[in-house]
Structure 1
Amino acid sequence: MIDLVIVGAGPAGLGAAISAAENGLKVCILDEFVKPGGRLLGQLHEEPDGKWVNGIAEAEKLYERAIQLGVNIQCGVSVYDLIKLDNGWCVYTTDKIIESKCLLLATGASETPIPIPGWTLPGVMSIGAAQVMGNVHRVKPGEQGIIIGVNVLSVAIARELQLCGVHIKSILLPQPSLLSGDAAKPEKMMESLLRLTHLAPSPLIRFGGKWVNAKLGARLYPKNGFKMWGISIQLRKTALEIVGENQVEGVRIADISATGEVIHGTEKVVPADFVCIAGGLTPMSELAAVAGCSFCYVPELGGHVPLHNEFMQTNLNGLYVAGNITGVESAKVARAQGTVAGLAIAHELNALGNRANEKLDEAIVEVVETRRKALIQFQPGIEEARMELHHKFHESRGEAILM
C-alpha cells in the first residue's frame, strides 16, 4: 500500500505531490490525459505588467520537480471507482487496482454546455477545446470565429486565440432560455465584464470599470458593443442559431434589450467558419460523489463542491480535495491548495516532522494571499464563500471554527 494516490495531474495535483514527496511520502498521480499539466497546458497570456505566462513551461517545471522527488506519474489512465477501506482507499483504474493510505481528488472543473440550435454542426466546440487546439496542439480551430457566451473564460481565451492568428469576430450572448439562465442576461454578464476591465488595453476602459454600475452599464451599453484587443464584445446581441449545411457557415443573431428580450426584426446572419460555446465552468466532482463525500451548493464557487476545511480535508477519513473541484479559481490558487493538501496528508501520516502546524499555517496563508492577488476572479465573493464553507465543515463535525 502506497502513502498517497492523487487523481489529476494539473497544478493542484502536481503541487500536492511535490509537497507530499518532499516530506518523504510515496506518491502516485493518475490522469486520464496523455500528458501532465491539466489546464496549465492551455494557458498562454500576457499579464498587465508585460510578463508572459506559458502554461506548458510551468507544467514542465512542476513535472520535472515531481519526477525528481520520485513521484510515479501515470497518464492515459482513468479512475472509475473508489472504495473506502478500514485503513485507506482502494482506487479502481482502467489499468489496475491501487491501494493507498490517503487519497487526493484534484480533478479540476468541466465546461458547462449551453445547447443552441445548430450546435451539433462540425466546427462548433467549447471554448476550452479551442484553447487546447491552439495553445497545446498548435492547430487553428478556424480562421474566423464567433464566441457565444460573455464571461471571464470566454474573454480570456478569445485573446489567446487571437494570439494564435485567429480572427474572433465577436463575443455575444446566448438566446434567453431555461438552460442559458443568467448567461443570457446583459446585466448579469455586465457584472462579469466589470471584473475584467483591469486587463483591458485601454486606460479609459480600465478607469470606467471602477465606476460603472452593472445595471446602468447594461442599459447604456452600445448596441454594437465595445472592443478589447480589437475583439467586439456584445451584450446587446444574442445568438439565435448556428447555421450551415455540412459545417458552420455563420450565426444568426438579433438585438436584445438591456433586460435580455429579443427585439424582433433585427435578425441577421454573421458569417463564421467556427463557433465556440462558453457556458462557464463547474467543479468536476463525480469521483467525490462516488466516494460518498458530503457536498454543499455554493454558486460563488461554481456549483456543488465537496464539503471540506481549510486543510483541504473532506468529511471522509483520508480523503482530500484541491484545485477546481473545490471551486473554480485560477491555476495559481489551485497549486497553492495542492501544497496545503500535500502538507496536511503528510501531517496525517506523521511525516511532516518539526514545525508541522507552522508549515500548514504558512501554506494556508499563501492560498489566501494568492487568491487576493489573482488577476481573474471567476465569481464575486469567493473568499467569503470559502470561509462560510469551512464554517459549515466544522459545524458538521461539532468543531470550533479555526479561521
Structure 2
Amino acid sequence: MNDVIIIGAGPAGLSAAVTCARKGLQVLVIDEYMKPGGRLLGQLYEQPDGTWWNGIQESARLHRQATDLGVQILLNTPVHNLERDEDQWTIYTEKNIYSTNHLLLATGAAESPVPVPGWTLPGVMSVGAAQVMTNVHRVKPGERGVIIGVNALSAVIASELQMAGVNVAALALPERNKLTQEAAQPESVMNDLLHVAHMAPSALMRFGSKLMKNDLMKQLGITFYPKSGFKMWGIPIQLRKAVVEIYGNKQVEGVKIATVRPDGDIIPGTEETISCDFVCIAGGLYPLTELAAVAGCPFYLIDELGGYVPLHNNRMETALDGLYVAGNITGIEGAKIAIDQGTVAGLTIAANHGVNELENEIEQAIASVSQTRDQAPFQFDPNVRKGKRIMQEKWEEYQRSKSEWTVG
C-alpha cells in the first residue's frame, strides 16, 4: 500500500508529489498521458515583467524534483474506477490495482468546443490541440488559421501560434445560439478580453482597456467597435463578426463570417469569407471531475469556476475522508495556481498522515495560493474569486449540517 496516490501528473499532481515526498511519504503518481506535465506542456507566453513562462521547462523541473525524491510515476496508465472500503481507497487501472489511505485527484480540465456548421472537416480542431501541436510537438497546425471564440485562452494561444510562424487571420465570435450564449455576445466577450489586454504589445490596446471600466464605456466600445476588428499582437480581434460556417471540399478552405449587432444577432446580407487551411474552436474549459463523481463526492455547479466542482475546502480536502483535490478540478485557473494548490494538498496529506507541526506551513501555502491568484496575468473567468467564496460557503454549510446530523 502506498502512503499517497495521486491521479494526474500535471502541475498540481507533480507539485503535491514533491511536497509529500519531502515530508517522507511514499508517493505513486498515475497519469494516462505518455509524458508528465499535463497542460503545462503546451504553455509558452510572455509575463508582465518581460520574462517567459515556459511550460515544458516547468514540467521538466517538477518531474526532476519528484523523481529525485523517489516518487514513482506511472504513465500511459488510465484509471477507470475507484472504490472506498472503510479507510482505504482502491484504484483500478488497466495494468494493476493499487490502494492507499490518501488519494489526490489532480485530473485537470478538458475543452468544450461549440459545434459550428462544417466542424467535422479535416483541419478543424480545438484551440488546445493547436497549442499542443505547436508548442509540444513543434508541428504547425497549418499556415493560415481562424480561431472561433474570443476569450483569454484563445487570445494567448493565438499569440503563441503567431510566434511559431503561423498566420492567424482572425479571432471571431461563434454564431449566437442556445449553446454559445455569452460567448457570442460582444459585451460579455469584451469583459473577458479586457483581462488579457494588458499583455498586448499595442500601447493603444492597453490604454483602451483602462477606459472600459464602466458599463456605458463598454456599450459605446461595442457599438463603435470597428467592423474590420482591432489588432492585438497583430491579430484582428473581431467582436462584431461571427463565423456562421466552415467550408471546404475535402478539408478546410475557409470560413464564412457575418457582421453582428451589439447584442450578437446576425445582420442579414453581411456575409463574407476568409480563406484559411485550419480552424480552431475555443469553447472554454471545464473541470474533469468524472473520478470524483465515481468516488461519490458531492458537487456544486459554480459557473465562475467552470462548471460542476467537487465540494472541498481551502486545504484541498473533500467531503470524503482521505480524498483530496487540487488544480483545475477545483476550478479553471492557471498553472501557477495549480502548483500552489498541489503544495497545499501535499502538506495537508502529510499532516493527516501523521507528520507533525505542519499547520504553519499549510496556512502559508494557502496564503500563497491567494497571492498567486491576485498576481495572475489573466483569469479564465474574472469572477473566479467569487466562485471560490461560493465554494467556501458551501463547505461551511456542509460542515454545519454534518455537525447537526451527528448531534441529532
TM-score above 0.5, yes or no? yes
Matches of 2:398 and 2:35 in 1, distance apart? 38
- SS of residue in 2 equivalent to 1:21: helix
In the alignment, which residue of structure 2 is the partner of 1:193? 193
Structure 1 runs not aligned, ≥5 long: none
Pairwise mapping of residues 164-179 of structure 1 onto structure 2 (< 5 A)?
A: 164-179=164-179
- How far apart are 1:95 and its partner, in Å? 1.3
| Of 351, 355, 360, the match for 1:347 | 351
Matches of 1:385 and 1:140 in 2, distance apart? 36
Query: Match for 1:9: what amino acid?
Result: A
Query: Match for 2:338: what amino acid?
Result: A
Are residue 283 (structure 1) and residue 287 (structure 2) matched?
yes
Say what the alpha-carbon RMSD is for the aligned residues: 1.1
Query: Match for 2:25: what amino acid?
Result: L
In the alignment, which residue of structure 2 is the partner of 1:374? 376
- How far apart are 1:85 and its partner, in Å? 1.8
Greater shift after overlay, 183-192 or 202-211? Answer: 202-211
Structure 2 runs not aligned, ≥5 long: 403-408
Matches of 1:92 and 1:393 in 2, distance apart? 29
Instruction: Render the CA deviation track for 1:121-166: whole Å, top value 9, x for unaligned.
Output: 0000000000000000000000000000000010000000111110
TM-score where L is the length of structure 2: 0.96
In the alignment, which residue of structure 1 is the partner of 2:76? 76
The answer to whether the Cα contact below 8 Å between 2:287 and 2:307 also exists between their aligned partners in 1 is: yes
In the alignment, which residue of structure 1 is the partner of 2:405? none
| Of 364, 367, 392, the match for 2:366 | 364
Are residue 217 (structure 1) and residue 221 (structure 2) matched?
yes
Query: Match for 1:202: what amino acid?
Result: S
| Of 267, 272, 276, the match for 1:268 | 272
Matches of 2:330 and 2:279 in 1, distance apart? 30
Are residue 247 (structure 1) and residue 251 (structure 2) matched?
yes
Are residue 383 (structure 1) and residue 385 (structure 2) matched?
yes
| Of 319, 325, 341, the match for 1:321 | 325
Matches of 1:95 and 1:113 in 2, distance apart? 32
The answer to whether the Cα contact below 8 Å between 1:307 and 1:389 also exists between their aligned partners in 2 is: yes
- SS of residue in 1 equivalent to 2:81: strand
Pairwise mapping of residues 138-149 of structure 1 onto structure 2 (< 5 A)?
A: 138-149=138-149
Query: Match for 1:22: what amino acid?
Result: R
Are residue 396 (structure 1) and residue 392 (structure 2) matched?
no
Instruction: Render the CA deviation track for 1:355-393: whole Å, top value 9, x for unaligned.
Output: x11011000000000000000111122123212211211
Instruction: Render the CA deviation track for 1:80-135: whole Å, top value 9, x for unaligned.
Output: 11101212200011211100111111011110120011000000000000000000
The answer to whether the Cα contact below 8 Å between 1:194 and 1:214 also exists between their aligned partners in 2 is: no
- SS of residue in 2 equivalent to 1:397: helix
Matches of 1:347 and 1:38 in 2, distance apart? 26
- SS of residue in 2 equivalent to 1:115: coil
Greater shift after overlay, 376-385 or 359-368? Answer: 376-385
In the alignment, which residue of structure 1 is the partner of 2:98? 98
In the alignment, which residue of structure 2 is the partner of 1:46? 46
Instruction: Render the CA deviation track for 1:251-294: whole Å, top value 9, x for unaligned.
Output: 01111111111111111221000000000111111111111101
Are residue 55 (structure 1) and residue 59 (structure 2) matched?
no
Identity of aligned residues (%): 54
In the alignment, which residue of structure 2 is the partner of 1:234? 238
- SS of residue in 2 equivalent to 1:25: coil
Q: Number of aligned residue pairs: give it.
A: 398
- How far apart are 1:53 and its partner, in Å? 1.3
Matches of 2:220 and 2:374 in 1, distance apart? 27
In the alignment, which residue of structure 2 is the partner of 1:304? 308
In the alignment, which residue of structure 2 is the partner of 1:126? 126
Greater shift after overlay, 334-343 or 86-95? Answer: 86-95
Matches of 2:390 and 2:113 in 1, distance apart? 28
Query: Match for 2:205: what amino acid?
Result: I
- SS of residue in 2 equivalent to 1:29: strand
Query: Match for 1:137: what amino acid?
Result: H
The answer to whether the Cα contact below 8 Å between 2:304 and 2:386 also exists between their aligned partners in 1 is: no
The answer to whether the Cα contact below 8 Å between 2:145 and 2:168 also exists between their aligned partners in 1 is: yes
Greater shift after overlay, 305-314 or 378-387? Answer: 378-387
Instruction: Render the CA deviation track for 1:301-323: whole Å, top value 9, x for unaligned.
Output: 11110110010101001000000
- How far apart are 1:203 and its partner, in Å? 1.7
The answer to whether the Cα contact below 8 Å between 1:188 and 1:214 also exists between their aligned partners in 2 is: no
Query: Match for 1:236: what amino acid?
Result: R
Matches of 1:187 and 1:380 in 2, distance apart? 14
- SS of residue in 2 equivalent to 1:317: coil
Matches of 2:13 and 2:218 in 1, distance apart? 37
- SS of residue in 2 equivalent to 1:398: helix
Matches of 2:317 and 2:218 in 1, distance apart? 37
Query: Match for 1:365: what amino acid?
Result: A
Matches of 1:385 and 1:207 in 2, distance apart? 29
In the alignment, which residue of structure 1 is the partner of 2:23? 23
Are residue 34 (structure 1) and residue 34 (structure 2) matched?
yes
- How far apart are 1:48 and its partner, in Å? 2.6
Matches of 2:88 and 2:209 in 1, distance apart? 50
Matches of 1:89 and 1:74 in 2, distance apart? 18
The answer to whether the Cα contact below 8 Å between 2:31 and 2:77 also exists between their aligned partners in 1 is: yes
Matches of 2:52 and 2:399 in 1, distance apart? 44
Instruction: Render the CA deviation track for 1:177-222: whole Å, top value 9, x for unaligned.
Output: 1111111111110111111111111222112212214333222211
Query: Match for 2:286: what amino acid?
Result: T
Are residue 334 (structure 1) and residue 348 (structure 2) matched?
no
